[in-house]
C-alpha cells in the first residue's frame, strides 16, 4: 500500500507535464491579455514590427527578406503565434535560406492547422526542399485530400507533378554523381549576392552579376532595396581569382545590367536588361584593349514585346540560342535558335528568323539558362519540366545527325529540389560554374566551381599478372558498339602570343587576320591584347587556315595551320614572332603552296601573295629577295632548279601585280640552307619553304 502515494505522485506529474505542453502549444495572440504588465513596452514594439513587416510582406512585389527581419524580431518576443510562424515560413521559402521554412511552418500547423488554406502545401514544399522526400510525398497527398472537387480540378495536376518530382529526387539522391565543390574565394564573392557566372574557354576570365555598393550610379532599387545589378570581371592569376573589377560604362549603366552569355573567344558579351521592352537581350563587343563598346539591342529576330532572358552563342559564332516566352511556344519559356553571319571586318552580326528547338527540349513548363558547349553540339539548359527533382534542374542534350537527344538530368547534388539555373561549363567539360547559398559562404549567394569526377571505377582484382603479357582478346561483331557518325563541325580553340622575334617582348594591339586558304577569304580579324599580346579564337575544324599579324615598323608575319576534322574539341598554341623592318631580315611565307613537284602556284596562295604585294606597295623603297628551299630528297641539281623555279613564280606574280622588277630578285638554294633536320617528316616539311629577305629599305 506504500506504493500507492508514489504512483499517484508520478501520475500527477505526468498530467501536469501534459497540461504544460498543451498550454505551450496554444496559439498566442499579440494582445495585452496574453502577457503580463511588465511586458507592455516589448509587446508594443513587437506589434509595430509585425505592422511594418506586413507592409513589406503585402507589397507588390513582396519584400520577403526585409519583412523576415522584422517578423523574426517579433517572434523572439512571442514564438507561439500561428500566423506569425506561417508568415516567417513563407518568407523563408522566398529567400536563399528556403530550408529554414520547415521549423516555422510545422509550428504554425501545430498551433492552428487551419491558419491558412495553403499551410499544408507550403509545409510539403518545405519538406521537399529539405529532401525529406517521404514526408513531402505524404504531406502533398494530405493537401490533395483536403481539397474540394473544384479545387482539385484546378490544383490536382500541379500537386501530382510535385509528387512525381519527389520520386525523381529519391532516385537521384540514392545515385549521386561524384563531384567536388569549391568556393571561388574572396576575389569573386562578397557579403552581397553573386550569380550568373560565365567562364571563357580556357577558364581564365570569369564574368558574373552582382548588386553591390560599387554599382554604377551607386543607387538602390526601391522594389527590393538591393543595389542595382552590374557585371563584374575576375581573372585567374597564379591559380587565384583576382578581385573582381567593375568595368562601368558603357557596359554597365545606372540601371540593372546582367551578363547572360559570352562567346568562346571572349569577344562578344550578351547582356540582359529587364527594364527594356519587357526584358531584352543586348550584345556588346569587347576590344582587345579590354574596352567595351556600347551595348546594342539584338534585332527583332530575337527580341520581341515579350520576355527574352537568356542566350548563348554557338562556338563557331554561326548561331544563337535564346529563351523567350512569346506565345507561339510549347508553354511558358522556350528555347529558340537563330542562324547568324558575321559581316565585314567590323564583325557586324546579321541574324535570321528564329526557330523553336522543338518538343524534345521544350515542355509545357519553363526552360531557361541556355548554354551551348564549346563542342557545338552539347546544349545545357535548365527546365521545370522533364524529370526535374523540383524547380529548375540542369539538363543536357546532344545534337546527333541533326536531331536532339532526350535531355538528361545532370543528377544530384548538381541539381537540388530548388531552382538550379545559369550554369556555365569549361571547355573540357570537367568544371561547371554556378551560384548557390551555403551558410559557410561569404554572405548571400556565392559562386562555386564544380569538378565533375565521373562514375566511380570498380576495383579490378587480377590473380595471374603474367597472363596479361600475352593474352589477346578477340572482339566479335556483336561486342562492338554501333559506329556513331557526327556530322556537326567541331570547334578548335587557337590561342597564342604576338611577340618581337628578337626580344620576345609581347606586342600589344597588333591586328591579326585569319583566312580560309581554300576559299581565299578572311574569316576573322581582331587585335592582340594591348598589355599581354595574347589572343584566342575559336574556329571550325577540318580547314586550312592562314594567320597573319601586321604591326607598325615590323614585317608582316604569317602562319599556316591545317586543322584536321575532329569529333572532340581541340586546342592549338600558335605564337607569332614578328621581325622588324631591317636589312637582312628573313620571313618565311607559310601560306604559299605549289603543286606537287612543280613550280605552279596553287589558288590557296593568293591571299599570302596579295599581302606581300600590299607590303611592297606600302613600303615603296623596299627591295627583297624571294628564295626557294627544298629538303634533301632528290639530287642537288634538281632541288636547286625546282626551288629557283618556285621563287621565280612568286616574283612573276608580284611583277604582274605592278611591283617594279628592279625591286625583286629570285634565288633557288635547294637543300643548302636547312632550318630543321632532314631526318624526320616534320623537319623535311619545314625545310620545304619559300621566304623573302630584305635587301634594302
Comparison of pLDDT for 612 and 348, the residue scoring more:
612
480 pLDDT higher than 60: no
**Sign of the four-CA dihedral 494, 499, 505, 509:** negative
Nearest residue to 548 via CA among 609, 502, 593, 491: 609
pLDDT digits (tens, 9 = 90+) for 520-567: 888 888 888 877 888 888 888 888 899 999 888 898 888 888 888 776
Question: How far is Cα 407 from Cα 389, in angstroms, rounded to an integer?
Answer: 14
CATH of 489-580 among 1.50.10.20, 2.60.40.10, 1.10.10.10, 3.60.20.30? 2.60.40.10
How many CB atoms within 10 Å of residue 697? 12
CATH of 582-697 among 3.40.50.150, 3.30.43.10, 3.40.50.300, 3.30.1330.60? 3.30.1330.60
Phi, psi for residue 238 in degrees, rounded to 5? 55, 45
**Residues 115 and 82: beta-carbon distance below 8 Å:** yes
Give the rounded percent of residues in the chain with a pLDDT score beyond 90. 51
Give me Rg for the CA atoms of the chain: 34
* Confidence label for 16 from pLDDT (cuts 50, 70 and 90): low
pLDDT digits (tens, 9 = 90+) for 584-613: 888 888 888 888 888 999 888 888 898 889
Cα of 125 vs its chain's centroid, Å: 30
Strand partners, 394: 382
455 pLDDT higher than 90: no
Q: CB neighbours of 465 closer than 8 A, spacing ≥ 6? A: none
Q: Which residue has the cell 582478346?
A: 473
Provide CATH code, domain 179-452: 2.120.10.30
Task: Name the region of 83 (left: φ>0; alpha: ψ -120 to 50; beta: rest).
Answer: alpha
DSSP assignment string, 640-662: HHHHHHHHHHHHHHHHHTT--GG
H runs (alpha helix) in 304-374: none
Element (H, E) at 668: strand 664-668
**Residues 251 and 231: beta-carbon distance below 8 Å:** yes
Element (H, E) at 136: helix 133-145
Q: Both ends of the chain: CA-CA distance in Å?
A: 127
Q: Which residue has the cell 559562404?
A: 441
Question: How far is Cα 303 from Cα 244, in angstroms, rounded to an integer?
Answer: 30
3-state SS string for 447-485: EEEEEECCCCCCCCCCCCCHHHHCCCCCCCHHHCCCCCC
pLDDT digits (tens, 9 = 90+) for 281-339: 999 887 656 678 889 999 999 999 999 989 999 887 888 999 999 998 999 999 999 99
**Residues 334 and 356: beta-carbon distance below 8 Å:** yes
Question: How far is Cα 323 from Cα 335, in angstroms, rounded to an integer?
Answer: 5
How many CB atoms within 10 Å of residue 422? 26
Question: How far is Cα 228 from Cα 645, in angstroms, rounded to an integer?
Answer: 68
Nearest residue to 663 via CA among 607, 629, 618, 600: 618
| pTM for this entry | 0.72
pLDDT at residue number 178: 87
Angle at 247 between CA 242 and CA 252, to 5 degrees: 135
Can you identify the CATH homologous superfamily of domain 25-174? Tetratricopeptide repeat domain (1.25.40.10)
170 pLDDT higher than 50: yes
pLDDT at residue number 565: 79
The full set of domain ranges for the chain reads 25-174, 179-452, 489-580, 582-697
How many CB atoms within 10 Å of residue 446? 23
Amino acid at each position: 500500500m506504500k506504493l500507492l502515494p508514489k504512483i499517484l505522485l508520478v501520475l500527477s506529474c505526468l498530467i501536469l507535464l501534459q497540461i504544460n505542453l498543451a498550454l505551450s502549444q496554444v496559439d498566442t495572440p499579440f494582445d495585452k491579455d496574453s502577457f503580463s504588465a511588465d511586458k507592455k513596452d516589448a509587446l508594443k514594439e513587437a506589434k509595430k514590427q509585425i505592422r511594418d513587416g506586413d507592409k513589406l510582406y503585402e507589397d507588390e512585389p513582396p519584400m520577403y527578406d526585409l519583412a523576415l527581419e522584422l517578423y523574426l524580431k517579433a517572434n523572439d518576443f512571442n514564438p507561439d503565434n500561428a500566423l506569425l510562424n506561417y508568415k516567417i515560413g513563407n518568407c523563408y521559402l522566398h529567400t536563399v535560406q528556403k530550408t529554414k521554412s520547415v521549423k516555422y511552418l510545422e509550428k504554425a500547423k501545430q498551433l492552428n492547422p487551419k491558419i491558412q488554406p495553403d499551410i499544408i502545401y507550403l509545409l510539403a514544399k518545405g519538406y521537399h526542399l529539405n529532401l525529406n522526400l517521404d514526408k513531402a510525398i505524404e504531406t502533398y497527398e494530405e493537401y490533395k485530400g483536403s481539397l474540394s472537387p473544384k479545387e482539385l480540378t484546378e490544383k490536382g495536376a500541379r500537386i501530382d507533378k510535385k509528387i512525381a518530382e519527389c520520386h525523381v529526387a529519391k532516385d537521384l539522391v540514392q545515385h549521386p554523381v561524384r563531384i567536388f565543390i569549391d568556393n571561388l574565394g574572396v576575389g569573386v564573392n562578397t557579403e552581397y549576392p553573386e550569380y550568373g557566372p560565365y567562364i571563357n574557354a580556357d577558364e581564365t576570365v570569369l564574368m558574373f552579376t552582382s548588386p553591390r555598393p560599387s554599382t554604377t550610379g551607386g543607387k538602390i532599387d526601391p522594389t527590393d532595396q538591393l543595389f542595382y545589378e552590374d557585371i563584374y570581371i575576375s581573372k585567374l592569376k597564379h591559380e587565384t581569382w583576382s578581385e573582381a573589377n567593375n568595368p562601368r560604362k558603357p557596359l554597365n549603366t545606372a540601371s540593372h545590367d546582367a551578363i547572360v552569355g559570352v562567346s568562346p573567344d571572349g569577344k562578344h558579351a550578351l547582356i540582359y536588361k529587364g527594364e527594356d521592352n519587357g526584358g531584352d537581350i543586348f550584345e556588346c563587343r569587347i576590344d582587345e584593349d579590354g574596352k567595351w563598346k556600347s551595348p546594342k539591342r539584338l534585332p527583332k529576330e530575337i527580341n520581341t514585346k515579350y520576355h527574352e532572358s537568356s542566350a548563348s552563342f554557338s562556338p563557331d559564332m554561326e548561331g544563337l540560342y535564346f529563351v523567350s516566352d512569346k506565345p507561339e511556344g510549347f508553354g511558358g519559356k522556350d528555347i529558340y535558335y537563330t542562324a547568324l553571319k558575321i559581316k565585314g571586318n567590323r564583325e557586324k552580326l546579321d541574324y535570321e528568323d528564329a526557330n523553336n528547338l522543338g518538343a524534345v527540349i521544350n515542355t509545357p513548363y519553363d526552360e531557361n539558362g541556355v548554354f551551348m558547349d564549346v563542342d557545338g553540339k552539347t546544349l545545357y539548359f535548365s527546365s521545370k519540366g522533364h524529370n526535374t527533382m523540383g524547380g529548375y534542374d540542369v539538363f543536357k542534350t546532344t545534337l546527333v545527325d541533326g536531331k536532339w537527344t532526350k535531355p538528361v538530368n545532370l543528377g544530384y547534388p548538381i541539381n537540388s529540389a530548388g531552382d538550379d539555373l545559369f550554369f556555365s561549363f569549361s571547355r573540357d567539360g570537367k568544371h561547371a560554374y554556378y551560384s548557390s547559398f551555403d551558410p559557410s559562404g561569404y554572405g548571400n549567394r556565392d559562386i562555386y566551381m564544380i569538378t565533375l569526377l565521373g562514375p566511380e571505377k570498380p576495383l579490378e582484382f587480377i590473380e595471374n599478372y603474367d597472363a596479361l603479357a600475352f593474352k589477346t582478346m578477340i572482339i566479335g561483331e556483336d561486342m562492338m558498339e554501333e559506329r556513331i557518325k557526327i556530322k556537326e563541325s567541331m570547334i578548335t580553340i587557337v590561342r597564342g602570343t604576338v611577340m618581337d622575334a628578337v626580344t620576345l617582348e609581347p606586342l600589344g594591339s597588333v591586328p591579326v587576320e585569319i583566312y580560309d586558304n581554300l576559299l581565299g577569304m578572311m574569316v576573322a580579324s581582331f587585335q592582340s591584347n594591348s598589355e599581354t599580346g595574347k589572343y584566342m579564337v575559336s574556329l571550325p575544324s577540318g580547314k586550312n587556315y592562314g594567320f597573319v599579324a601586321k604591326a607598325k615598323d615590323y614585317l608582316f608575319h604569317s602562319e599556316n595551320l591545317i586543322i584536321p576534322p575532329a569529333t572532340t574539341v581541340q586546342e592549338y598554341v600558335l605564337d607569332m614572332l614578328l621581325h622588324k623592318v631591317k636589312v637582312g631580315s628573313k620571313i618565311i611565307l607559310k601560306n604559299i603552296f605549289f603543286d606537287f613537284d612543280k613550280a605552279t602556284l596553287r589558288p590557296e596562295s593568293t591571299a599570302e601573295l596579295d599581302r606581300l604585294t600590299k607590303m611592297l606597295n606600302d613600303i615603296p623603297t623596299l627591295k627583297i629577295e624571294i628564295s626557294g628551299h627544298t629538303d634533301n630528297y632528290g639530287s642537288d641539281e634538281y632541288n636547286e632548279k625546282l626551288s629557283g623555279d618556285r621563287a621565280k613564280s612568286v616574283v612573276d606574280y608580284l611583277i604582274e601585280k605592278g611591283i617594279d622588277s628592279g625591286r625583286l630578285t629570285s634565288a633557288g638554294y635547294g637543300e643548302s640552307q636547312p632550318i630543321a633536320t632532314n631526318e624526320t617528316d616534320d623537319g623535311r616539311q619545314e625545310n620545304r619553304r619559300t621566304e623573302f629577305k630584305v635587301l634594302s629599305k
